[in-house]
Amino acid sequence: MNRLFHSESKAEGACGTASGALFAEAKTLIPGGVNSPVRAFRSVNRPPLFIQSADGAYMTDADGNRYIDYVCSWGPAILGHNHPVVREAVCKAAQSGLSFGAATEAEVVMARLLTSLVPALEMVRMVNSGTEATMSALRVARGFTGRDKIVKFAGCYHGHSDALLVKAGSGLLSEARPDSAGVSAACARDTLVARYNDLDSVSRLFERHKGEIAAVIVEPVAANMGVVLPAEGFLVGLRSLCTAAGALLIFDEVITGFRLGLGGAQDLFGIAPDLSCFGKIIGGGMPVGAYGGRRAIMEMVSPAGPVYQAGTLSGNPVAMAAGIAQLGFLRDHPEIYPALEKTADALFTGLAEIAQQKGAHCVINKIGSIGSLFWTDEPVFDLDSAMKADTARYAAYFNFMLEQGIYQAPAQFEAMFISAAHTQIEIDKTLTACASGAFCP
């Protein structure tokens, strides 16, 4: 019987549970039974949980099992789930109607908020997801520079638009290949792939493709190969290479934006990208993305300029209300960020100590209130080193902790997220659960 569970059912999600029944039906109606692949729990070799509700640092599944949640909806729930300030703003906005297909004051308030908090943001356009934000930012970069090629980094994820679902060609200098069925070779050809934390791999691409590269897009702190921090000089080096080559530097801050501080990674590292992309936290849990940057660049976007981009629900008033409430709360309570970091330090330091006591080979990368535990004994600084992690060992760790009522990313190459609702109580419960056997071979 799991200490945090309210019911006899175990976390296996096997048949006989509500999650199991929902999954069985979902698989007949939805590809893989889920609306986003990572939710299928395939990397951790077990059927997925179907979540019924969430509050603060906890989620409850369809069988009534309660978990301490370290996914936080992949980042949006930085205040904790179902925060009253966000919930009440959504309920209030919904009273006035859900969507008008016309401009609203809420969009002006959101744009004012974002541009006031993020130094390099002079203008911003709202969209409905991080994917839309990065896809649109790349189109604007191509429109602004008149160039076709873009550079991304192996291991960085920027959503599922065709140009970004590519992987390195045979050598890093060759053109990229599609990383998904359905992405055309022609589309992939305009994407070049460099190695994260390897400036030489970028300068070689600029050398080989002089005058052809419109933009370099990067997660300023990578969080989709697990958390990987930028090496000293990496981001400033990218800034210099882009400036020298007349290419735009795009920071994908869908995870880091308002996570690493009110100004995001660009403020933390003191780098001014030409364009920035946001999502997750700025929607407070509702579907919201945004891209923005220098005025001269953003004035290229329709109807102000020739780069077309549109969206029926872009700037949706209810979604704006959620984002404005959450961002406003973060702005008015900046003490949240050091508190988040303190909680994250307690968690990751504790995990590292237990791993060491148990003789488990794992590496922890963390920054601010995100981090990853890699099952490897070598430093993780790019995709190649991340891929050395033992994913089977991670799966065993994930399932052991789930059984103890601790819900973490159901895949090694993701991040753990801490919210303002996680207290020492949750950290102690997590570390106790971990010490009870998570690192046993």
Query: Are the C-beta atoms of residues 250 and 141 closer than 8 Å to each other?
Result: yes
Q: Which among 149, 196, 198, 280 is annotated as catalytic?
A: 280
DSSP letters along 348-407, please? HHHHHHHHHHTT---EEEEETTEEEEES-SS---SHHHHTTS-HHHHHHHHHHHHHTTEE
324 touching ligand KE4, by CB under 6 A: no
74 touching ligand KE4, by CB under 6 A: yes
Verify whether residue 280 is a known catalytic residue: yes
Query: Are the C-beta atoms of residues 137 and 277 closer than 8 Å to each other?
Result: yes
The contact mask relative to ligand KE4 for 277-296 (x = CB under 6 A, - = no) is: --x---------x-------
Nearer to ligand KE4, 163 or 433 (CB): 163
224 touching ligand KE4, by CB under 6 A: yes
129 touching ligand KE4, by CB under 6 A: yes
36 touching ligand KE4, by CB under 6 A: yes
Nearer to ligand KE4, 67 or 291 (CB): 291
157 touching ligand KE4, by CB under 6 A: yes
Verify whether residue 291 is a known catalytic residue: no
Q: Tell me what percent of the chain is helix, strand and coil, each rounded to the nearest 5.
A: 40, 15, 45
Closest CA to 327 of 112, 74, 102, 97: 112
Interface stretch with ligand KE4, choices 88-96, 112-120, 208-216, 249-257 (CB under 6 A):
249-257
Give the integer Cα–Cα distance in Å for 254 and 252.
6
Query: Are the C-beta atoms of residues 367 and 204 closer than 8 Å to each other?
Result: no
Output the CA angle 340-279-421, nearest 5 degrees. Answer: 25
Q: What residue type is 128 in one-letter code? A: N
Smallest distance, ligand KE4 to C-beta of residue 289, A: 6
Query: Are the C-beta atoms of residues 173 and 154 closer than 8 Å to each other?
Result: no
252 touching ligand KE4, by CB under 6 A: yes
The four Cα atoms 155, 157, 163, 166 give a dihedral, to 10 degrees, of 30
Closest CA to 323 of 56, 78, 147: 78
Smallest distance, ligand KE4 to C-beta of residue 135, A: 9
369 touching ligand KE4, by CB under 6 A: no
> Which residue, judged by CB position, is nearest to ligand KE4 in the bound state?
130
158 touching ligand KE4, by CB under 6 A: yes
The count of chain residues that interact with ligand KE4, using the rule CB under 6 A, is 19
- Provide CB contacts within 8 A for 203, sequence distance 6+: 241
Interface stretch with ligand KE4, choices 139-147, 197-205, 218-226, 398-406 (CB under 6 A):
218-226
Verify whether residue 179 is a known catalytic residue: no
Nearer to ligand KE4, 56 or 75 (CB): 75
Query: Are the C-beta atoms of residues 408 and 71 closer than 8 Å to each other?
Result: yes
255 touching ligand KE4, by CB under 6 A: yes
Give the integer Cα–Cα distance in Å for 12 and 24.
14
Smallest distance, ligand KE4 to C-beta of residue 227, A: 11
The contact mask relative to ligand KE4 for 172-191 (x = CB under 6 A, - = no) is: --------------------
Nearer to ligand KE4, 255 or 351 (CB): 255
Phi, psi of 288 (to 5 degrees): -140, 140
134 touching ligand KE4, by CB under 6 A: yes
Q: Which two tokens stand for residue 213?
A: 């590269």
Which residues form the interface with ligand KE4 (CB under 6 A)?
36, 38, 74, 129-131, 134, 157-159, 219, 223-224, 252, 254-255, 279, 289, 414
For the annotated catalytic residues, the residue numbers are 157, 252, 280
